[in-house]
Amino acid sequence: MPEPILAEGAAPGDSVTQPPLPEAVDRILTGWGRTSPTAARVITPGEPADVVRSLWSHNGATRPGVIARGLGRSYGDAAQCAGGLVIETGRLDRIGAINDAGEVEVDAGVSLAALLRTSLPQGWFVPVTPGTRQVTIGGAIAADIHGKNHHQDGSFCAHVTSITLATPTGVLQVSQSVDPALFWATAGGMGLTGVILGATIRMRRVETAWMRVDTERHGELQGLMDALERVDATHRYSVAWLDCSARGRHLGRGILDAGDHARASELGASAARDPLAAPHDARFKVPVALPAPLVGGLSVAAFNRAWYAKSPSRPGRIRPLGGFFHPLDALGDWNRLFGPRGFVQYQYVVPSERRDVIVSTLELLQRAGAACSMAVLKRFGPGDPGPLSFPMAGWTLALDLPVGPPGLRRALRELDQLVLAAHGRVYLAKDSRLGPVAFAAMYPRLSEFETTLRRVDPEGLMQSDLSRRLRIGSLAR
Amino acid sequence: MNDAFARPNSVLVLGATSDIARAIVGLLVRDGCERVVLAGRDQVRLAEAAGEAKEAGASFVATLGFDANEVDQAAGVVDSGFSAAGRVDLVVVGLGLLADQPEDERDPTRVTRCLTVNFTWPAAALTRVAEHFREQGSGRALVLSSVAGVRVRRSNYIYGSAKAGLDAYARSLNQTLAGSGGFITVVRPGFVVSRMTEGRSAPPISTTPDAVARDAVAGLERGAEVVWSPGYLAVIFRVLRLLPEAIWRRLPF
């Protein structure tokens, strides 16, 4: 990233005469799940300095509320702010040079896809990636995202060496040693500490853009979970996909993928010609939002069974990195498949000894008649110090659930209680329906987070629909 | 904020003492709604409704008195409701008054009163609600209409005309809200056995406040512009609307 636009500790009001800001437009925003649309003024500044001016000029507005928005991949209402100002970071897209230690300065609006296009040919991979490349650096930090390597490498912010943050009270550069309280409040803080302008990321050295993947098919849940525990010791990346339609003794059957970056010597002749080719963007898109969901009960069950059937156990297959990490990117705008009512994603983590919660979850959803189009199970390693950071050691399960079945809402409220009783928690980047009471119980370090907020945002300027729904904020309690 | 299932955290109820409004509030609060502002005329019943909401689990309950004959006050009542609640996720417009037909038919004052309570006041209030929704960038409304307004009958035309007006007004207002984050759902119940219809003989098809509340909240979740309660009335009225006036007039209700 370019040199900081304002010195560390610069304060609002320091800037004098400047060109006009880009025009703000009124827009309806939703998250990736396409539920809960609300309207906000949206501004897309081209320079970090303009972000800062937009943020500060909104200070004292009749209706407070500013939040940053990247690529809108949060499933719920994290990157929308009804009646307020939404600062899109898409034009903050500069990528610095990668140094010998793998450190790179990037603007907040840079997507992992863009970063990989630059870094992979030089032999650098992102330290952590979720199931899509279409997330920004700002979003990755704000949600403290995790990937298939969490058990070995932790979450995204463990690999962030510094963050440039525009808070309502000043632009600051923070790191794990400089103002660690603010650094860790920003890690997983859902954008509520301010607008992230850029960060320095430590990348991972790779020889190829290919993966060596062991695939195992397991006919029931306990065997699958045993296998997940086993491969975590031997593989950097692991994940299991569950067939939610399977019942009885096949409950929780699924496919386990365990992978590592392939070495150049392992590639076949054609791959070896360009071993570091970056993955393509999606060739096909869902062109319009479907008037009715294509993803319903029957199609979901058929899809789950077909996926299970097509994935027999195979060791040591060499696969392109895009297909392994980012299966969601094969089809652009796939969230439109769920029809006008959208879908919710429910992801939680429970401690390792609470395998029973996974079983209860699958049974509960089947009882409620909820169609689950996708269920992904993985083991987390220890969490990082972020008070609102989601990961902690244990099992995490992510479920895609189309809105529609009448019992779904109640079933998810039951699930909240199950997760809470097991001392687990729900992932805010996926959430669109948790209540403030359950949330506060799941994140007992909330008050620590809010103490930091009171320091950098005493007026409660930073707000999102999510923070309002969950009542997070310096003035919230 | 409304969650992914359109369940509000805060609700403002205009006409909060009606049985249907109370049933809706009960449902919402049990589903997690924390802040409730109840506006109505009858202070005793208002206090009762507030007690119910508290008992159901609302953490903040406030009441507001108003008289729906005073049309000039409508905007002020809405403003007070919004400022008491903070941010309003859902407005329920539930006030209503049946006319005494045929006694009222020749009394312009009574006719005016029925039209005011069922149409003019709610329309004025909704206009203000829409303004708040635009400013908030969000907000949902449930407007209690009636099948009596879908095709107006001789025996109940004063009330029916008012509801027909409100129904059309609310649906049109909803169109003006496109792109604003606000959204209005019109609810058309059939004959509801409730305090309002006490002493009237129920037609062959009737429903209850609880059933209407369930249908209304389900409609909210669905994002419906119009909700019939019970749902099959949509089909029945599709047919009834096509009947020639000569036959309609002779129907025995």
Helix (H, G, I), strand (E, B) or coil at A94: coil
- Residue A2 clears pLDDT 50, i.e. is over it: no
pLDDT at A475: 66
Average pLDDT, chain A: 91
State the average pLDDT over residues A334-362.
Answer: 93
CA-CA distance, B9 to B32, in Å (whole number)? 7
Mean pLDDT, rounded, for B99-110: 93
* B223-235 average pLDDT score: 95
Q: Tens digit of pLDDT for each residue in B38-73?
A: 999 999 999 999 999 999 999 999 999 999 999 999
Q: Which domain holds residue B132?
A: 10-250
Tell me the mean pLDDT in the region B204-223: 93
pLDDT class of A336 with cuts at 50, 70, 90: confident
Q: Residue A340 pLDDT > 90, yes or no?
A: no
Per-residue pLDDT tens for A136-184? 999 999 999 999 999 999 999 999 999 999 999 999 999 999 999 999 9
Residue A291: pLDDT above 50?
yes
CB spacing of A36 vs B4 below 8 angstroms: yes
pLDDT band for position B215 (cuts 50, 70, 90): very high
Residue B172: inside a domain: yes
Contact A409 B1 (CB under 8 A): no
Work out the minimum CA distance from A37 to partner chain B, whole angstroms. 6
Please identify which residue in the block is written with the tokens 């759902």: B185
Is residue B100 one of the residues assigned to a domain? yes
| Confidence bin at A476 (pLDDT 50/70/90) | low
**How many domains, chain B?**
1
State the burial class of residue B102 (Cβ atoms within 10 Å of its Cβ: 0-12, 13-18, 19+): exposed
Q: Are A467 and A446 in contact (CB under 8 A)?
A: no
Mean pLDDT across the stretch B160-175?
A: 98
Q: Which member of B4, B134, B136 has the closest CB to residue A433?
A: B4
Residues A418-461: pLDDT tens digits?
999 999 999 999 999 999 999 999 999 999 999 999 999 999 99
Tell whether B2 is covered by a domain.
no
What are the chain A neighbours of B221 within 8 Å (beta carbons)?
403, 409
A224 versus B202: the higher-pLDDT residue is A224
The structural domains of chain A, ordered by start, are 103-205 (3.30.465.10), 210-433 (3.30.70.2520)
Q: Compute the nearest-CA separation of A41 from chain B (Å).
A: 9
pLDDT at B116 over 70: yes
Closest CA to A279 of A335, A212, A325: A325
Query: What is the rounded distance in angstroms from the CA atom of residue A226 to the CA atom of residue A230?
Result: 6
Which tens digits make up the pLDDT trace of A215-237? Answer: 999 999 999 999 999 999 999 99
User: What count of other Cβ atoms lies within 10 Å of the Cβ of residue B34?
Assistant: 19
B1 CB within 8 Å of a chain A CB: yes
- Inspect the interface and report whether the beta carbons of B137 and A83 lie closer than 8 Å: yes
Looking at residue A3, its pLDDT comes to 38
Torsion of CA A225, A227, A232, A233, to 10 degrees: 130
What is residue A474's predicted lDDT score, i.e. its pLDDT? 64
pLDDT exceeds 70 at position A17: no
Q: Which residues of B touch A466 (CB under 8 A)?
A: 1
Residue A464 has pLDDT above 50, yes or no: yes
Residue A104 pLDDT > 80, yes or no? yes
A34 touches chain B (CB under 8 A): no
Nearest C-alpha in B relative to A345? B4
d(CA A146, CA A398) in angstroms, rounded, equals 12
Q: Average pLDDT in the A84-97 region? A: 97
Q: Report CB contact under 8 Å: B31, A409.
A: yes
Model confidence pLDDT, tens digit, residues A36-50: 999 999 999 999 999
Higher pLDDT, A336 or B167: B167
CATH code: domain of residue B136: 3.40.50.720
pLDDT at A129: 97
In a domain, B45, yes or no: yes
